[in-house]
Amino acid sequence: MGFATIIGAIVGVFLLLVVAYLLIGASLITAEVVMTAQRDMTEVQTDRTGTSIAIDGHQISADNTTLYLQVKNEGTTVIENPDQMDLFLATGTGTQTREEWQLIEITPDLINPGFFDPGELLNMSVTIDTLPIWMKVATPTGTAASAYL
């Protein structure tokens, strides 16, 4: 009869250790996930604060069907996916639309070909139906530059 009490106590301690191990493991995994998320958000915020663009110039084709824009990277961050940049145009009627644009070239594209490095100029074109009065270019991190035509 005394032996059964000892076995019950051993089983109880074993179950208590298993539960404690599972709780500690889950806590460590949760802490690691939170730290990784904080690190990722810090990197995104650092990229965002180092990103700065400016609309350096624009031209409209002679037949008023194409708008050419020059955007300069004035920040300290490399924009690795310039194709993911957004272009918004507003017309005199008050409508603002997101437009699909084409990359003409990045100059001088010597250091990281295909990336929009600091100091480089990105030339883009967009087909237009009506003449816009305002344009806005936004990077994938949310930094934007706008200008009136």
pLDDT tens-place string over residues 106-132: 999 888 899 999 999 999 999 998 889
Q: What is the mean pLDDT of residues 9-29?
A: 91
pLDDT(48) > 90: no
pTM: 0.70
* 22 and 38, same domain (yes or no): yes
- Please indicate, yes or no, whether residues 32 and 13 belong to a single structural domain of this protein: yes
Q: Are 139 and 49 in contact (CB under 8 A)?
A: no
What is the total count of domains within the chain? 2
Distance between CA atoms of residues 105 and 126, nearest Å: 13
Report the share of the chain in percent with pLDDT over 70.
Answer: 99
Helix (H, G, I), strand (E, B) or coil at 42: helix
Q: What is the CATH number of the domain that holds 107?
A: 2.60.40
Indicate if 28 and 93 belong to the same structural domain: no
Q: How far is CA 18 from CA 3, 12, 14, 23, in A?
A: 23, 10, 6, 9
Domain that holds residue 75: 53-148
Instruction: Give residue 1's pLDDT band: very low, low, confident or very high (50, 70, 90).
Output: low
